[in-house]
Amino acid sequence: MSENTVPTSPATAPAASPVGSPTAESLIPLTPEESRAVRDRLDEAKARAASAAERSGRKAEDVTILLATKTQPAEKILVALEHGFTVIGENRVQELTGKAEALAGIAHESHLIGPLQKNKVNHTLRVATCIQSIDSVALAQRIQNRLEAVGDDPTEVAAGGTIDVFVQVNTSREESKSGVAPEEADALVEAVQGMDRLRLRGLMTIGLPGSTPEEIRPSYRDLVAVRTRLLDSGLLTPDQTELSMGMSNDFELAIEEGATMVRLGSSIFGARPPIAR
């Protein structure tokens, strides 16, 4: 897969925008210089990702660049979508829903990459095509139950009655991070496989922050090891082997270790604006 891949799930459906959220009519276009800067950073990231993929014995198209758009304005995101990078991710459900209408004119995948509280499942399913933060059987079951209840109602679910998911694994074992422990991933994956409304694509992790490759690589290698174990045991099938790992400061290392999707934000859009409260 690559950032130019046409989404296999239906495009994000327009949702009712909260008061004050951007609409296509209210957007203020970027200056030509600002737009060019975003496109140049995208091209640079694509080239770096391709080189890292080649170093790992793979092709550039084997790696998807997901744009982590936390707190970024819809105007910047639209520049990236128009430049062919059509997979975006938000950490907060409020931003996922708040930007949906402004971005609805261009087909794209909308991923939730941050923690999902069970009481926000309904809002998420209306706009998300993928949830990367499945970290418990209870959360997975809540999503399954909701999808069973609403069926393929386009006002309640963006992805046609099912949802793509990743199981989040806490390979760094940091208490501050979400995710199931590596040794507990088997039970969670087995449970998700039994839920017909959830389409498991693979595994996700947030790597250990470090200042050297030697500090960073082990948490990514551990996710590869979890995938290998799950494949060997038959809990994962060959089409469920995606690995979402790596961010702006370490994505090349993650690709070298086997990432199929990297999540880039600040290296594309610059420093994040403050979160509106």
How much is the pLDDT for 210?
84
Over the chain (277 residues), what is each successive 10-residue block's mean pLDDT?
42 40 66 96 98 98 98 96 98 96 96 97 97 98 97 90 97 91 98 98 94 94 98 98 97 98 96 64
H or E segment and range at residue 132: strand 130-134
Q: Is residue 9 part of a domain?
A: no
Distances (CA, A) of 202 to 44, 131, 186: 27, 11, 12
**260 closest CA partner among 52, 49, 64, 55:** 64
Q: Is residue 199 part of a domain?
A: yes
Q: DSSP letter for 182, please.
A: G
Radius of gyration of the chain (CA): 18
String of DSSP letters for 51-108: HHHHHTT--GGG-EEEEE-TT--HHHHHHHHHTT--EEEESSHHHHHHTHHHHTTS--
Q: Is residue 76 part of a domain?
A: yes
Q: What is the crossing angle of helices 74-82 and 32-55, to 10°?
A: 60
Q: How many domains does the chain have?
A: 1
Q: Encoding tokens for residue 269?
A: 């859009």
Residue 67 sits in a domain of what CATH number? 3.20.20.10
- For 182, the domain range is 32-266
Q: Is residue 21 part of a domain?
A: no
How much is the pLDDT for 22?
59
Q: Is residue 14 part of a domain?
A: no
How much is the pLDDT for 271?
78
pTM value is: 0.89
Are 139 and 165 within 8 A, CB to CB?
Answer: no
Q: Is residue 113 part of a domain?
A: yes
Q: Is residue 60 part of a domain?
A: yes
Kind of pairing between the strands at 109-112 and 198-204: unpaired
How much is the pLDDT for 175?
85
HSE of 163, CA atoms in CB hemisphere, 13 A: 37
How much is the pLDDT for 10?
37
Are 11 and 70 within 8 A, CB to CB?
Answer: no
How much is the pLDDT for 23?
58
- What burial letters (b/e) apply to 190-221, b meaning 16+ CB within 10 Å? ebbeebebbbbbbbbbbbbebeeeeebbbbbe
Q: Is residue 277 part of a domain?
A: no
